[in-house]
Amino acid sequence: MTAQASWPTNTWYVACSSDEVTDKPLGRQICGQRMVFYRTRNEKIAVLDDMCPHRGAPLSLGHVNDEGDLVCGYHGMVMNCDGNCKSMPGQRVSAFPGITAYPVEERFGFIWVWPGEADKADSDLIPKFNFFDDPEWAYGGGLYHINCNYKLMVDNLMDLTHETYVHATSIGQPEIEDEAPDSFKDGDTVVTRRTMESIKAPPFWQNALKFNDLEPTADVDRWQISRFTPPSHIMINVGVAIAGKGGFDAPADQKASSVVVDFITPESETSIWYFWGMARNFKPNDQELTDKIREGQGQIFSEDLEMLEAQQQNLIDNPGRQLLKLNIDGGGVLARRMIDKMLKQEASAS
């Protein structure tokens, strides 16, 4: 009997960014399933099993023809966007069994896929964000492939205490440890919140203050508010404001703040696709600033990558080792409970 995977499937995951799917098919494994993403003639996104029903070749090694159908690169089997066999040179294949076509939506510059039961897919369940299409906001981000279970990244982002050590030269500072986070459920989400008052900003946030025409060495009030939406989306409100000006609620001209965007998509039990970025609502038209922030953020997340991959290898090598849970782990614990609830619901419905 095959063990149940650790991720829910009747839900939406970010599979790729819109600009990754151009005139060539893209192969990517999502939740243990190999999929091929491509654009039809009208630029609509389609997603199929990445396996030709003829001889099992990856369809991602094929091409899209002038009619917008996917052509296998091995023997020329033509598949339509519903996963049905349309034609093949010299053969009659219209009655040939088709392959799985996955529900897919393109939104916010990302391509979202539903790897579970197609009849349960509801595009209204895709999380809504108020900054991707707002001209008052700017966004820049990237993608990392990380060899770790997706829950380890959830833990990482719901407990930012590690910044003091993993990101000591950028966003980390000892004051983070002095303030215990507050973790709680808020409807269908989990929130972990930490605030720090009258401290000096770390290097990354000193630069952000300077970018927003504020004094980088001034005393500041700092906040970190991580919000987890199951199964694996985390938005983190972060920022600093000139001390005594209201912290998170300070006027825009007295703070530098942003939303760290984290879409975590399982590839396998020990690997993920990690879509990271930052949305900000100051100087939204400054592309040079967007590029600088993206470069700095990319370096920060590369430090997480190294730590998480080493952590995953330790867990693989020591499968029976019991790990400690401390008060700083509250957000991750609540998030995992939500994931477990989703898994139980799927198991009972199958």
The model's pLDDT over 135-152, given as tens digits with 9 standing for 90+, comes to 999 999 999 999 999 999
Cα gap 266→248, rounded to integer Å = 32
Which CATH number does the domain 13-125 belong to among 3.40.50.20, 3.40.1190.10, 2.102.10.10, 3.30.450.40? 2.102.10.10
pLDDT at residue 2 tops 60: no
pTM across the whole model? 0.94
pLDDT band (50, 70, 90) for residue 164: confident
CATH fold of 138-349 reads Naphthalene 1,2-dioxygenase Alpha Subunit; Chain A, domain 1 (3.90.380)
CB 65 within 8 A of CB 39: no
For residue 262 the two structure tokens come to 């984290």
Domain ranges of the chain: 13-125, 138-349
One-letter amino acid of 247 = G
The DSSP bridge partners found for residue 257 are 239
pLDDT tens-digit profile of 311-349?
999 999 998 888 878 778 889 999 999 999 999 999 988
More confident residue, 91 or 76: 76
Can you tell me which residue has the tokens 């984290």?
262
Q: For residue 274, is pLDDT > 90?
A: yes
Mean pLDDT over residues 146-174, rounded? Answer: 91
Helix (H, G, I), strand (E, B) or coil at 78: strand
Taking a C-beta distance cutoff of 8 angstroms, is the pair 97, 53 a contact?
Answer: yes
d(CA 145, CA 155): 17
**Phi and psi angles of residue 8, each rounded to the nearest 5 degrees, phi first:** -70, 155
How far are the Cα atoms of 209, 232, 302, 305, 320 from residue 166, in angstroms, in the given order?
22, 22, 10, 10, 26
Average pLDDT estimate for 107-123:
96
Q: Are 260 and 238 in contact (CB under 8 A)?
A: yes
